[in-house]
Chain A
Amino acid sequence: MHKIYTNIVEITGDVITVEAEGIGYMDIAEIAIRRGRSLAQVIRIDGKRVSLQVFAGSKGISTEDKVRFLGHPMRVASGSDLLGRIFNGSGEPLDKGPQLTDNRIDIGGPPVNPVKRVIPNKMIRTGIPMIDVFNSLVESQKLPIFSIAGEPYNDVLARIATQAEVDIIVLGGMGLKYDDYLFFRDKLQEHGSLSKSVFFIHTASDPVVECLLVPDISLAVAEQFALNGKRVLVLLTDMTNFCDALKEVSITMEQVPSNRGYPGDLYSQLAARYEKAVDFDTAGSITILAATTMPGDDVTHPVPDNTGYITEGQFYLKGGVIEPFGSLSRLKQQVNGKTCDDHRAIMDTMIQLFASYREAIEKQAMGFQMSAWDQKLLKYGRRFEKEMMSLEVNIPLESALDLGWRILSDCFEPEETGIKKSMIEKHWKFQNA
């Protein structure tokens, strides 16, 4: 029998303190509030004083409200019954479906033993040349999309989700606008992917603290699928909201902030989630794609900064295109040597030339004379932007590489590209023939 406590002694922000005994750290409690019921989690115990963060927020909590400790950490149902369902940030159904109670698992489970991981080696094809050619996405990779509010990051996420060959899609929405949520739902429905998807949605109108559970719930569910041999893609949008919720709670708890008010353990908190991305030895995999909005387009802001140190690269979405500079897939080397023999040559050369093009543009903007070489670069850069960078382009990798050779041979002499002779002989001639 769970004990019920009614002596709430402190309410600060979304954290309440209640006097209780025999309570486990991180355990979950249920609070009966006048306006409904909320879950809360133990975040500090000091003698008899137990502090809990209330996921529904503390608005309307009375010092007499009943707090019932469940005696276990946060749990969520798992298994194939979840497919096609939509839940809120605490795992309650948002669709008209039944509450699920089977196969409940603890969220935020222990880390994977590194020796049970395998080296990622399967490319996920997206049909976007800026990803496939220049920064290939790899199964089990964790990769955020850095962008500012207003950029089409949710469109990119949805597009990758519908085109990638995965078994299960888990969407964790944090502070998601309601229409964005509808957009995801419709997009997945359109491509017939909804029946292999699970949604955990915390919308912008829900209490901020509730989004703290979303990554853990989504990843716990994904982990169960992966252990059963499924290849799972987890989409988390937007992780900055998650970090802001962490900040709010830590400030309420009077923790010393480290940088711009964020808690000192922001790195560890983010890592605990992102590191759930895994390719299991003899089982399935989890790939994480997240959206991280950068306040003020500042990549040195603590959220993108800490994220960048954890994730295996990032896609930098700016002006509606994936920027080649600032974008990076750390795992691309695991796969791009095996696709086509010219993949790496095209990747390196086109980017180096594109960097020179940017310099030429700068020169032009400052009114300097354009040399013949600069003219060539300008021609090249414009074609690159139009035919490669645009998110409109949707072609398989092989066609993209052919396109690359065509653009290069239309704009330059072979030795101007700096590509190895043997490679030129094989592909350049082929293009001109």
Chain B
Amino acid sequence: MVKNRTGRIVKINGNMVSAQTDTFVVQNEVAYIICNEERLKAEVIRVKADVAHLQVYESTQGLKVDDEVEFTGELLYVELGPGLLGQIFDGLQNPLPWLAEKCGFFLKRGVYIDPLADETEWDFTPVKKAREIVRAGDKLGAVKEKIFTHYIMVPFGLKGNLDIISIAAKGKYNLKHPIAGLKDANGKTHEVFLQQKWPVKIPIKAYAEKLKPQEPLVTKMRTIDSLFPVSRGGTYCIPGPFGAGKTVLQQLTSRHAEVDIVIIAACGERAGEVVETLKTFPNIKDPKTGKPLSDRTVIICNTSSMPVAARESSVYTAVTIAEYYRQMGLNVLLLADSTSRWAQAMREMSGRLEEIPGEEAFPAYLESRIASFYERAGSVRLNDNKIGSVTIGGTISPAGGNFEEPVTQATLKVVGAFHGLSRERSDARRYPAIDPLISWSKYKGFIGAKQKEAGHRALRKSSDVAQMMKVVGEEGTSLADYIDYLKGEFFDFVYLQQNAFDEIDESTPKERQEYIFSFIYDNILRPDFNHSSKEEALKFFQKLRQLFKGWNSSVWDSEDFTRTEKEIKGLCIKFTQTS
């Protein structure tokens, strides 16, 4: 047996601990600090001569010089297998509900619990036979996890072609029971279990090829789907000052987005918001499956008062779980809230390491870390030609709400869509506060280019006229310009804005968006109105707005819906006919 490699603490500064050792040390390996009865998890982040610098994933209170450090030789990994769905983990994949059972109200440090329950038995059905040849990522069999067929795959880290020397028959197995034996080209055999481990900071690449994101991901938020669409396998970011509604937007997306699985990484944000998600999701039915939303959700929760270093690992834990489900041919959406907190965690550590700071004291490697995180998104063709995707949407909390700061700028370089929230819009209670004048998307949505452009144009024109009106006043504005101004405002009010407290208006499915957008395009954006005065035009649009609000909250294709539609059309025609 190999002797444990150990070291001794020589320096403590916040959550950074230096340990002197006389053995070799592996960069990014996990180490444990022994403090009385407690074992505190830490990660080697720098090695200098015989001193290893560790970031500690726990509070360092009470640690002493000369305390022992044990190196494990393993990188920080997560356990992947059936039982992840519906669970709530911290940044190190400790299941929080089980921690609560064990420790009560508080998160006691140094307590770690296996993320997956070893004893649970799963109904395994093999899909491969002995003597078949497989590669890493190939499906060996499946178990049923909630509503999904959870495939058990060849461990992602194995290389080359492997012979199946044995595979378990259909039956019930727990996580400890081997279900297959594989032999590699060197004749070495590997046992396969229902679960496998994977280091979080390394992307899972056991697929055939990475594809261009093409299919739109429907979020049922009209602004996003119609004007600033996101594709499956794409990336987008939501920067915004505090109070602009980033988290609400993420919560709504996590509820309504048309994907198979949603991974929520609550990274360094308020605990209260996570609580809302984790207490309400079990009671909200997914309209598509009729099952609780929690069945398709994994929550990684490392809120702002939990240890900072674990905040850094939480986004990696989340993306690794997302990649795992992608390997099964599922569409996964990862929502990270907020990537700024993750960046700040890097900054705190960089400061303690006394590295030369970059802009706003963020480390110089900030950009490359952000880029490599978002690059883990993507739509992929698997070995069996099925398509799976991971879409990443990250919020950013820029200091002072100023988008010129390093995290926002580094993110904008690598994402495919930008949903910028503005203080002006949220102050005016225009939700979602995605500012249509600054946001952009490189993806193709389901609204035709011509109609989409007309929408953008109306908003731009309206904003121009509004600016001008501030200088020359309403009386100095021509009637035509004034009507354009009202059109844009109207489009903003009834289409871009969505009432999150109205059951119907809260989420608009694809066909309804297409229908309403066409309706607005044909009846309001395109025609010229023949109002005789500004007063009359204002009254007309006020009336229109009120009718439309009712229309937005009426059930699709109901009697109410058709009646309101007729009423609106009638009103529009009245003012478009040449008298």
Contact = CB atoms under 8 A, between A and B. Distances in A.
A110 interface: yes
A275 B397 CA distance: 18
A308 B348 contact: no
19 contacts: A25-B64, A45-B12, A47-B11, A110-B108, A113-B106, A114-B271, A114-B275, A115-B96, A257-B361, A258-B361, A259-B360, A265-B351, A267-B304, A305-B399, A355-B428, A355-B429, A368-B473, A371-B535, A420-B550
A119 B280 CA distance: 9
A272 B63 contact: no
Nearest to A366: B473
Contacts of A48: 65
A363 B477 CA distance: 14
A105 to B, nearest CB: 12
A290 B99 CA distance: 31
B321 interface: no
Contacts of B534: 371
Nearest to A348: B429
Interface stretch (A52-60, A326-334, A388-396): A326-334
A119 to B, nearest CB: 5
Contacts of A102: none
A362 B466 CA distance: 13
Interface residues of B, number: 76
A210 interface: no
Nearest to A22: B64
Contact of A268 (B61, B276, B348): B348
B291 to A, nearest CB: 21
Contacts of B371: none
A120 B272 CA distance: 8
A313 B243 contact: yes
A352 B545 CA distance: 14
Contacts of A301: 400
A376 B103 CA distance: 61
A115 B305 CA distance: 14
Interface in A100-150: 108-120, 140
Interface in B383-404: 397, 399-402
Interface centre among B66, B96, B348 (most CB of A within 10 A): B348
A91 interface: no
Interface of A: 21-27, 44-48, 73, 108-120, 140, 227, 255-259, 263-265, 267-268, 271-272, 275-276, 278, 280, 283, 299-302, 305-306, 308-310, 312-314, 325-326, 328, 330-331, 333, 337, 344, 348, 351-352, 355, 362-363, 366, 368-369, 371-373, 415-416, 418, 420-421
Interface of B: 10-14, 59-66, 88, 96-97, 99-100, 103-109, 241-243, 268, 270-272, 274-276, 278-280, 301, 303-306, 308, 341, 344, 347-348, 351, 354, 357, 360-361, 397, 399-402, 427-429, 470, 473-475, 501, 534-535, 538, 542-543, 545-546, 549-550, 553
B280 to A, nearest CB: 7
Given A24-B64, A272-B305, A337-B501, 10 more contacts: A24-B61, A44-B12, A114-B301, A256-B357, A283-B105, A300-B401, A310-B304, A351-B429, A352-B429, A355-B427
A363 B271 contact: no
A111 B279 contact: no
B107 A305 contact: no
A206 B235 CA distance: 52
Contacts, number: 209
B59 A267 contact: no
Contacts of A271: 268, 304-305
A336 B549 CA distance: 21
Given A113-B107, A116-B100, A268-B348, A46 B242 contact: no
A291 to B, nearest CB: 18
Interface centre among B10, B272, B351, B470 (most CB of A within 10 A): B272
Contacts of B357: 256
Contact of A115 (B65, B88, B542): B88
B344 A309 contact: no
B474 A368 contact: yes
B474 A369 contact: yes
A363 B62 contact: no
Contacts of A116: 100, 104-105
Contacts of B305: 111-112, 271-272, 275-276
A351 B103 CA distance: 46
A363 B501 CA distance: 33
A278 B61 CA distance: 23
Contact of B546 (A109, A362, A415): A415
Contact of A23 (B64, B280, B550): B64
A2 to B, nearest CB: 15
Nearest to B274: A114
Contact of B106 (A21, A73, A108, A110): A110
A373 B436 CA distance: 27
Nearest to B18: A46
Nearest to B344: A267
A84 to B, nearest CB: 27
A263 B351 CA distance: 9
